[in-house]
Homo-oligomer: A and B are copies of this chain.
């Protein structure tokens, strides 16, 4: 049985586990006040060419999203997001549980926000009887596997700055975004164009962990305290620093992300070659084939995957995801087994 269920099915890249094992004997100070975190943070600031950034390590994506949003906003302020945004549909109402409203824009199937989608919400927010739009949440790669171009991010950033909006980028799958063939965005671009963003570890080789880069100095105050308050300070915080150091110091993070994207793109091309369309076409490590419902039992027997949504009366969109652990042989095997079954 092939596994394309998601990119967090395996514990960690072997190099990450080895690093932890290698340092297991050490006594390290708790709560992230250690040298591993300091050095990983410095590494990230260097990679972003942004010495004034504050780098904070948290445990998971939902936690990073709501802790950052709660830290950045005042009680009367809200978040503009795509209706398909992870914060809106996959996080148990975590943002609202911090007291903030999500102002949803009806995005295209690719899940991208644009100035055109944002501006009407800004307009509505001029009415003082509603929530003030103050932060724009985007994900790169999006929940639908698509990546932003530099031009798109620049347009979003300009729109945000012109409208007193913070730009926050959920990078749970930033590796996969940067691994996409059409990607032309870099870490210094993100540091220049957003107010805060994060580099996801959980979905790209770490046991767990997200590295939040708070670029805007006005948003840095008090962050450790709110992290503690929201349960996002790991007692053995140095484990997060060590993992990011291991992943980033020699570029392993980007190598394994590119590998995952390559595997997914091979899956996508192979499926398209069999006449199976995509919805939408993905650039990253997740692909979304539209399959006839009659094919589902065949797929159930072949591989682990997720049902994404219904396309129409007789078709289903499924999601196949690859990771550092996906082998070229898995992709080829799956494609040939599927072809045989058709």
A255 within 8 A of B: no
Q: Which residues of A contact B (CB under 8 A)?
A: 3, 5-6, 8-12, 14, 17, 20-21, 23-31, 59-63, 66-67, 70-71, 74-78, 89-94, 96-102, 104, 128-132, 202-203, 207-208, 221-222, 224-226, 228-236, 239, 304, 325
A128 and B224 in contact (CB under 8 A), knowing A8-B30, A9-B29, A231-B232? yes
Partner of A130, one of B75, B92, B239, B325: B92
Would you call B222 and A235 a contact (CB within 8 A)? Answer: no
Would you call A231 and B96 a contact (CB within 8 A)? Answer: no
Q: Which chain B residues border A5 with CB–CB below 8 Å?
A: 27, 29-30
Most chain B CB atoms below 10 A, which of A21, A23, A94, A129: A129
Partner of A231, one of B63, B128, B228, B236: B63
Q: Which chain B residues border A77 with CB–CB below 8 Å?
A: 222
Can you list 24 A-B contacts with CB-CB less than 8 angstroms, sorted by A residue number? A11-B20, A14-B24, A17-B21, A20-B207, A59-B234, A60-B231, A60-B234, A61-B235, A70-B75, A74-B221, A76-B92, A76-B225, A76-B226, A76-B229, A90-B129, A92-B130, A96-B99, A96-B102, A101-B102, A130-B225, A207-B236, A207-B239, A208-B236, A231-B231
Taking A10-B28, A67-B231 as known contacts, 9 extra A-B pairs with beta carbons closer than 8 A to each other, sorted by chain A number, are A10-B25, A11-B239, A27-B325, A59-B231, A63-B231, A71-B74, A75-B229, A94-B229, A98-B99
Q: Which chain B residues border A23 with CB–CB below 8 Å?
A: 11
Would you call A8 and B235 a contact (CB within 8 A)? Answer: yes
Would you call A231 and B99 a contact (CB within 8 A)? Answer: no
A99 and B101 in contact (CB under 8 A), knowing A24-B12, A128-B228, A231-B60? no
A130 and B90 in contact (CB under 8 A), knowing A75-B226, A100-B96, A202-B236? yes
Q: Which chain B residues border A207 with CB–CB below 8 Å?
A: 20, 207, 236, 239
A92 and B229 in contact (CB under 8 A), knowing A8-B235, A27-B325? yes
Interface of A is mostly: loop
Partner of A235, one of B3, B25, B208: B208
Would you call B203 and A235 a contact (CB within 8 A)? Answer: yes
Would you call B230 and A231 a contact (CB within 8 A)? Answer: yes
Partner of A10, one of B11, B27, B91, B234: B27
Would you call A93 and B229 a contact (CB within 8 A)? Answer: yes
Q: Which chain B residues border A224 with CB–CB below 8 Å?
A: 128
Would you call B30 and A6 a contact (CB within 8 A)? Answer: yes
Would you call B27 and A3 a contact (CB within 8 A)? Answer: yes
Considering only CB atoms, which chain B residue lies closest to A231 in the complex? B63
